[in-house]
């Protein structure tokens, strides 16, 4: 004979996106589509216009714990060497140095990251602040490294603080990026919408080499 | 960067360390008190579910299974003060593993906080929690 203590301990179902204000939906979609079209192109220089002149960016990276996969594909060396994980980077001077400030420093840092194709359709996007002065949105998703042997997929979490710019558009003033390995489950569902398949393995009709990769609307 | 701006960067990092220490301890061990950490008008977005106001946040949190969070990665930046009505505001990203009651699997999570200094206390204006899982809804 047992006790009647059963409770429903399941987690609430997850949603792909949250909008604090539905009025922000088009702006967010447009901004991210344009931003990642440039980010995933041959050159990230054009992102200069997407950043505020006093923008800050930091990136932190870590391995998944409990991950026994040890192939070269899983190595995050190019990220970890620049990671501002303040649990490890404890010196003030170093913490300041790992924070990139100013549009030029930010874009030069981004330009040195591996070339990518993001799975835009698979993004989880949360718009958490939407006011005339400031927009804050977070993204969770995966991308593929396109110039790295084996085209590894990575998982990321990223927050943009966006402000209006002088020309009637918008720019990022804070950018915080976290990069880690994809889980098995994420890999199985990667690019599942089929709309942003970057691997050149199958000769599917796509953009010409050198052109901006097609980013789903 | 000016001297003030540099100090603010140091302070953002040190506040993030202290804040996350308090936050995860509350969530894991004293969850009934956690909503005190949020502004009255605070926002929690939990895996895409939005919960407004600290009373509702408290109720939502109480309905989640007991948890154990282990923080592994932390980062913080100051947000320009003129964006948030001259209140000191920090952006924090915290990443690690969480286990829930009756499920031994360690789940990787990522969480973004916007915290604001109000009357000498740090309060969460927005909290966005995501488990690291695929999100494409078919």
Q: What is the DSSP string of B16-45?
A: HHHHHHHHHHHHHH-GGGGGGGEEEEEEEE
A163 → closest Cβ in B49, B78, B83:
B83
As a whole number of angstroms, the distance between CA B28 and CA B30 comes to 6
| Chain B residues with beta carbon closer than 8 angstroms to that of A120 | none
As a whole number of angstroms, the distance between CA A120 and CA B125 comes to 27
Q: What digits encode the pLDDT tens for the residues B29-82? A: 999 999 999 999 999 999 999 999 999 999 999 999 999 999 999 999 999 987
Pair B100, B129: CB distance under 8 Å: no
The answer to whether the CB atoms of B112 and A86 lie below 8 A apart is no
Pair A194, A211: CB distance under 8 Å: no
| Chain A residues with beta carbon closer than 8 angstroms to that of B80 | 54, 173
Mutant choice from B81, B128, B137 vs A, greatest count of A C-beta within 10 A? B128
Is the CB of residue B101 less than 8 Å away from at least one CB of chain A?
A: yes
For chain A, where are the alpha helices, taking DSSP H only? 25-39, 77-80, 92-98, 103-112, 184-189
Q: What digits encode the pLDDT tens for the residues A75-89? A: 999 999 999 999 999
Pair A158, A180: CB distance under 8 Å: no
Q: What tokens appear for A27 in the block?
A: 């702006």
CA B128-B130-B135 angle, 5° bins: 125
**pLDDT at residue A214 is higher than 80:** no
Q: What tokens appear for A134 in the block?
A: 């400031």
**pLDDT at residue A125 is higher than 90:** yes
Pair A125, B112: CB distance under 8 Å: no
Query: What is the arithmetic mean of pLDDT over A147-174?
Result: 95
Say what the pLDDT of residue A192 is.
84
**pLDDT at residue A203 is higher than 50:** no
Distance from CA of A29 to the nearest CA of B (A): 15
CA-to-CA dists, residue A107 to A7, A75, A152, A205, angstroms: 50, 24, 23, 31
The answer to whether the CB atoms of A86 and B43 lie below 8 A apart is no
Q: How confident is the model at residue B16 (pLDDT cuts 50, 70, 90)?
A: very high
Query: What is the arithmetic mean of pLDDT over A183-192?
Result: 91
| Chain A residues with beta carbon closer than 8 angstroms to that of B68 | none
CA-to-CA dists, residue B134 to A16, A23, B16, B45, angstroms: 9, 26, 28, 17
Query: What is the arithmetic mean of pLDDT over A185-208?
Result: 61
A3 compared with A42, residue with greater pLDDT: A42
Q: What digits encode the pLDDT tens for the residues A18-69? A: 999 999 999 999 999 999 999 999 999 999 999 999 999 999 999 999 788 8
Q: What digits encode the pLDDT tens for the residues B73-128? A: 999 999 998 787 778 999 999 999 999 997 889 999 999 999 999 999 999 999 99
Distance from CA of B92 to the nearest CA of A (A): 9
B17 → closest Cβ in A18, A86, A193:
A86
Query: Where does B1-138 show beta strands of DSSP type E?
Result: 38-46, 49-52, 67-79, 89-100, 103-118, 121-131
| Chain B residues with beta carbon closer than 8 angstroms to that of A126 | 45, 48, 128, 130
* Residue A137 φ then ψ, to 5°: -135, 150
What is the interface pTM, i.e. ipTM, of the complex?
Answer: 0.96
The answer to whether the CB atoms of B43 and A14 lie below 8 A apart is no
The answer to whether the CB atoms of A183 and B45 lie below 8 A apart is no
The answer to whether the CB atoms of B134 and A189 lie below 8 A apart is yes
B52 compared with A208, residue with greater pLDDT: B52
Which has the closest alpha carbon to A94: B94, B75, B98, B110?
B75
Distance from CA of B73 to the nearest CA of A (A): 5
Distance from CA of A15 to the nearest CA of B (A): 4
Q: How many CB pairs under 8 A join A and B?
A: 173
The answer to whether the CB atoms of B77 and A174 lie below 8 A apart is yes
Interacting residues of B13 by C-beta distance below 8 A, sequence separation 6+: A86, A92, A95, B76
Which has the closest alpha carbon to A157: B133, B85, B64?
B133
Q: Nearest residue of B to residue A128 by CA position?
A: B126
Say what the pLDDT of residue B138 is.
59
As a whole number of angstroms, the distance between CA B31 and CA B12 comes to 25
């Amino acid at each position: 004979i047992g006790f009647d203590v059963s409770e429903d301990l399941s987690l609430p179902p997850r949603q792909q996106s949250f909008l604090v204000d539905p009025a922000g939906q088009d702006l967010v979609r447009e901004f991210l589509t344009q931003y990642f079209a440039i980010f995933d192109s041959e050159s990230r220089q054009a992102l200069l216009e997407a950043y505020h002149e006093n923008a800050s960016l930091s990136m932190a990276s870590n391995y998944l714990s409990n991950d026994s996969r040890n192939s070269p594909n899983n190595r995050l060396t190019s990220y970890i060497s620049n990671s501002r994980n303040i649990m490890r980077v404890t010196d003030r001077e170093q913490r300041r140095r790992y924070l990139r400030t100013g549009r030029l420093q930010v874009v030069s840092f981004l330009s040195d990251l591996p070339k990518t194709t993001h799975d835009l359709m698979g993004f989880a996007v949360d718009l958490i602040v939407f006011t005339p002065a400031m927009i804050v949105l977070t993204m969770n998703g995966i991308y593929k490294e396109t110039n790295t042997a084996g085209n590894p997929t990575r998982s990321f979490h990223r927050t943009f603080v966006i402000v209006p710019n002088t020309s009637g558009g918008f720019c990022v003033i804070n950018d915080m990026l976290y990069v880690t390995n994809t889980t098995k489950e994420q890999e199985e569902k990667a690019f599942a919408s089929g709309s942003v398949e970057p691997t050149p393995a199958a000769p599917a009709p796509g953009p010409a080499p050198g052109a901006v990769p097609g980013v789903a609307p | 960067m000016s001297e003030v701006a540099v100090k603010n960067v140091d302070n953002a990092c040190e506040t993030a360390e202290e804040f996350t220490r308090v936050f995860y301890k509350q969530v894991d061990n004293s969850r009934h008190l956690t909503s005190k950490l949020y502004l009255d008008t605070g926002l929690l977005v939990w895996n895409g579910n939005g919960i407004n106001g600290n009373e509702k946040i408290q109720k939502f949190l109480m309905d989640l299974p007991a948890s154990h969070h282990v923080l592994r990665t932390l980062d913080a930046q100051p947000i320009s003060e003129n964006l948030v009505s001259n209140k000191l505001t920090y952006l924090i990203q915290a990443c690690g593993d969480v286990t829930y009651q009756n499920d031994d699997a360690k789940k990787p999570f990522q969480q973004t906080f916007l915290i604001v200094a109000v009357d000498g206390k740090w309060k969460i204006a927005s909290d966005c929690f995501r488990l690291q899982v695929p999100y494409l809804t078919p």
